[in-house]
Amino acid sequence: ASSLKFLLFILVLLFLSESWGQRLNTDNKKPSCDHCNQQLFCNCSHNGFTSVPSVTGSALSLDLSFNKITAVTNDDLTGHTQLKVLDLHGNGLAEIHPSAFDSLWSLEQLDLSYNQLTMLNYKWFSKLEALQQLNLLNNPYSYLGSPPVFGALVRLRKLALGGPSLNELRRGDLSGVTQLEELTVHANNLTSYDAGTLAHIWPLGHVTLSLHGPFLTNVTLAGAMIDDVSYPETPIILKDIHLIGVQSVQPFSKAAKRRIRYLTLHNVSVSDEAIVDLLVVLDGVPLTKLTIEDVTLTGEGWWEKASKTDHKSIDEFHIRNVVILDVYKFTSLLQLGFLLEYPRRVSVINAKVFVMPCLTSHLLKNLQYLDLSDNLLTDLTLVETLCGTTQTLMDIRVLNFSGNALKSLSTVSRLVTKFSKLTHLDISRTGYSFMPSSCPWPSTLRFLNISGAKFTAITPCLPKTLEVLDLSNNNLKDFTLLLPVLRELYLSGNKFLRLPSGLSFPNLQTLTIQSNTLNMFGKTDLQSYQRLENLQAGQNKFVCSCDFVSFVQLELRGGGGIELTDGVDSYICDSPFYLQGQPVDQVRLSVVMCHQVLFVSVSCGLALFVAILLSVVLWRIHAFWYLKMIWAWLKTKRNSRQRQQRRDKADTEALISFDAFVSYSERDAGWVENFLVPELEEPSESSSGTRSASHQPLTLCLHKRDFLPGQWIVDNIMNAIERSRRTVFILSENFVQSDWCRYELDFSHFWLFEGHATGEAAILILLEPLSKDDVPKRFYKLRKLMSSTTYLEWPQEDEKREEFWRSLRNALRGNDN
């Protein structure tokens, strides 16, 4: 009993260990991600993965952003030697094994931003010699670490580092980084910086510094950082800063001494005093481009205190997304002639500008580019801004009034007619709904953008001089206007059912007509385009017919003369239903669907060939004869059954009218009429002079004499056989070769040997020597009968004929004896 308990205990342990092993294997099973396109770009973001999933080893790009991956182990990425892009940002990643990236020899881009990395390990990057872009932003590390983490990244060109926890940067932290195209440093809470930390990076293409804290509490530190990255050819972006007074603009003095040319302030709050001080600090600096984005103006625009400063070098001034705290007190900037008379390019975007006074426009003496998009201009205020017909802004070449509340196209065309140098006009995203029949335009106008309006039809209002025309996102259904020099036409987001005729655009090279109601297009639709090179017609509801699929696949492979530049992913089947959602380049249609005429022709040809071949085979095996016999038999059987139903079974003997039905060849009729009939039907006496029973006359059925005229031959034959006790076949060469005899024999054979009569009912007489091989093979039962039944041969000697007739009479009266 104890041994039994021990055995049960061992079995329970084995069962539990196996169950736990299976559970552990299930729990440790690596998840997989198969969201990879044809370019081997695998998008596994937003999938809730808690560990790095299994992905094809040939992947070139792997996006694992916005999952829940908290750790990367040493074998999670093993085998991805071809991977070029790895994105792990937004995961809460807190731990990376020192050798996790060792196998990524080809990696060029790595994004580890917005995670929970509290420290950086130089071993992560020690094998990434091909790495060109690295993003480490917004992780909670407070310093970069030692030894220098970037020492092995000899090809690094774009680097982003820092975050809310970074509080110190030491000399040597960026050792190994010798040149960069882009450097981004988020140091809003930086408290310690060694001068020269960023100074050794040269050439330096583009710098972005977030310095909110230093500008407020440690302007010396901010100045040192700006000084290290200030080069005349290096654009500098300063983010998240507040310029309140003189103290806050002091860091710019370092940049001024380095004679910077390109300065951008992003997410900045600035007072009137700070603007004046900044203009003073930048006095004489060869600054050519000044950009301010996401700016909050706390003053009223009184900046004339800096009127004696020199800013003649400013060629471009761009301001975007402006918030004016006291907009009703803000000045019209008339006192800023010392600033406005020099720039050639000015942008004031999304600044709630409802009018620019004509006097202010007069100050823009050198202006060639003016962008007032996304403001509050109307047709009336636009007249004031452009000073009506007054000769103002005469050097203007580019105007952008997109995103304003303009409604009259004729007003705009009339206002810009005076600009003899105007080449580009953007009046998109406005309220235009009607296009006049004619409009005045400057003869120099080449580029016109009226997208995002509400036009339903095109008129000759459009200028003939256009080379580029954008009419996207309207309600157009057709385009028949002749534009002889047009090179690019953009018609996306309309309601075109077909491509417009290319005869209206003899010089068109680029056509974009995405997101319309196109069902299909083909080579014939594009033949009228003489010079078309680039076509973007994707994102339509395509009917994937054979011609369309064949054409698109050819063009996508580059086999045609036109390039579909919007890529394979833009061409998706909408119908038929079984192809819905499938990329056109992956569609494979059957030959039956695509070549119906050819398929029907080949099928009919094959069917005809098979029919002929089958007919020959059937003829060779006498199948037609069998079919004819079956049909005749069925018909005769039906007639016989009908007759039988009308007769009483007791009267069966009364139906017998003949002793024998004689089947013979017409060429043998002489023997039948001269020998057989006289001998059997005429009374004869025996040698003793008396008439015996065997010499009683017999009644024969002959087709010449006894068949009913006008009745179907088959019915005559079958009636004769039914009404005769015996059937006598007069066999000879004439019988075998005669069509009539063969026809008669066919039906007689069918009747006799299909169960209506036995072999005894048939009597064979051979007029001449004839073997069974001389009988057609289709009469197989007759041939069999000749092999198994004794037949009578007509003797050539006279002395033997008496015996022949006696044997024949006995055979005919056999059932009576």
Asked if residue 616 belongs to a domain, the reply is: no
User: Same structural domain for residues 809 and 664?
Assistant: yes
Question: Does the pLDDT value for residue 232 go beyond 70?
Answer: yes
* CATH assignment at residue 507: 3.80.10.10
Given a contact cutoff of 8 angstroms between Cβ atoms, the answer to whether 395 and 425 are in contact is no
Q: What is the mean pLDDT of residues 658-680?
A: 88
Residue type for position 413: S
Nearest-Å Rg of the Cα atoms of the chain is 53
Domain with 573 in it: 488-591
| DSSP string over 250-319 | THHHHHHHTT--EEEEEEEEE-HHHHHHHHHHTTT----EEEEEEEEE-S-S--GGGTTS--TT--EEEE
Number of compact structural domains in the chain = 3
Other C-beta atoms within 10 Å of 772: how many? Answer: 12
Asked if residue 783 belongs to a domain, the reply is: yes
Residue 244 is predicted with a pLDDT of 82
Residue type for position 733: E
User: Same structural domain for residues 567 and 676?
Assistant: no
Residue 687 is predicted with a pLDDT of 45
Which residues does 816 contact at the CB level (< 8 Å), separation at least 6? none
* CATH assignment at residue 792: 3.40.50.10140
Given a contact cutoff of 8 angstroms between Cβ atoms, the answer to whether 173 and 187 are in contact is no
Q: 10-19, 94-103, 549-558, 649-658: which has the highest mean pLDDT?
A: 94-103
Which residues does 775 contact at the CB level (< 8 Å), separation at least 6? 731, 736, 782, 783, 786
User: Same structural domain for residues 533 and 670?
Assistant: no
CA distance 251 to 321: 24
User: Same structural domain for residues 666 and 548?
Assistant: no
Per-residue pLDDT tens over the stretch 321-363: 999 888 778 877 777 888 888 999 999 999 999 999 999 999 9
CA distance 641 to 220: 126
Question: Does the pLDDT value for residue 644 go beyond 60?
Answer: no
- Residue 608 φ/ψ, nearest 5 degrees: -65, -45
For residue 179, which of 200, 152, 203 has the smallest C-alpha distance? Answer: 203
What's the mean pLDDT when you consider all of the chain?
86
Given a contact cutoff of 8 angstroms between Cβ atoms, the answer to whether 71 and 96 are in contact is yes
Given a contact cutoff of 8 angstroms between Cβ atoms, the answer to whether 214 and 226 are in contact is no
Instruction: Show which of 552, 574, 591 is a domain's final residue.
Output: 591
User: Same structural domain for residues 806 and 666?
Assistant: yes
| Tally of helices (H runs) and strands (E runs) in the chain | 22, 33
Question: Does the pLDDT value for residue 495 go beyond 60?
Answer: yes
Residue type for position 342: Y
Per-residue pLDDT tens over the stretch 294-331: 999 988 888 888 888 999 999 999 999 999 888 778 87
Instruction: Show which of 308, 341, 374 is a domain's final residue.
Output: 341
User: Same structural domain for residues 225 and 327?
Assistant: yes
162: confidence class by pLDDT, cuts 50, 70, 90: very high
User: Same structural domain for residues 672 and 751?
Assistant: yes
pTM over 0.75: no
Residue 657 is predicted with a pLDDT of 84
User: Same structural domain for residues 569 and 675?
Assistant: no
Name the residue with higher pLDDT: 707 or 354. Answer: 354
User: Same structural domain for residues 525 and 669?
Assistant: no
Asked if residue 150 belongs to a domain, the reply is: no
What does the chain come to in residues? 817
Asked if residue 704 belongs to a domain, the reply is: yes
Residue with the two structure tokens 């299976």: 22
Residue 178 is predicted with a pLDDT of 87
CA distance 553 to 572: 12
Question: Does the pLDDT value for residue 131 go beyond 70?
Answer: yes
Given a contact cutoff of 8 angstroms between Cβ atoms, the answer to whether 530 and 501 are in contact is no
559: confidence class by pLDDT, cuts 50, 70, 90: low
Asked if residue 806 belongs to a domain, the reply is: yes
User: Same structural domain for residues 575 and 671?
Assistant: no
User: Same structural domain for residues 673 and 809?
Assistant: yes
Residue 26 is predicted with a pLDDT of 40
Q: Structure tokens of 166?
A: 């970074």
User: Same structural domain for residues 669 and 797?
Assistant: yes
First to last CA, the chain: 99
Instruction: Show which of 341, 373, 399 is a domain's final residue.
Output: 341
For residue 90, which of 40, 137, 36 has the smallest C-alpha distance? Answer: 137
Q: Structure tokens of 739?
A: 């069509």
> 591-614 in b/e burial notation, b at 16+ Cβ within 10 A?
eeeeeeeeeeeeeeeeeeeeeeee
Asked if residue 298 belongs to a domain, the reply is: yes
Residue 498 is predicted with a pLDDT of 93
220: part of which helix (H) or strand (E)?
helix 219-229
Asked if residue 582 belongs to a domain, the reply is: yes
592: confidence class by pLDDT, cuts 50, 70, 90: confident
Asked if residue 548 belongs to a domain, the reply is: yes
CA distance 436 to 654: 109
- The C-alpha angle with vertex 245 and arms to 241 and 246, in degrees rounded to 5, equals 105
Q: Secondary structure of the chain: what % helix, strand, coil (to 5)?
A: 35, 15, 50
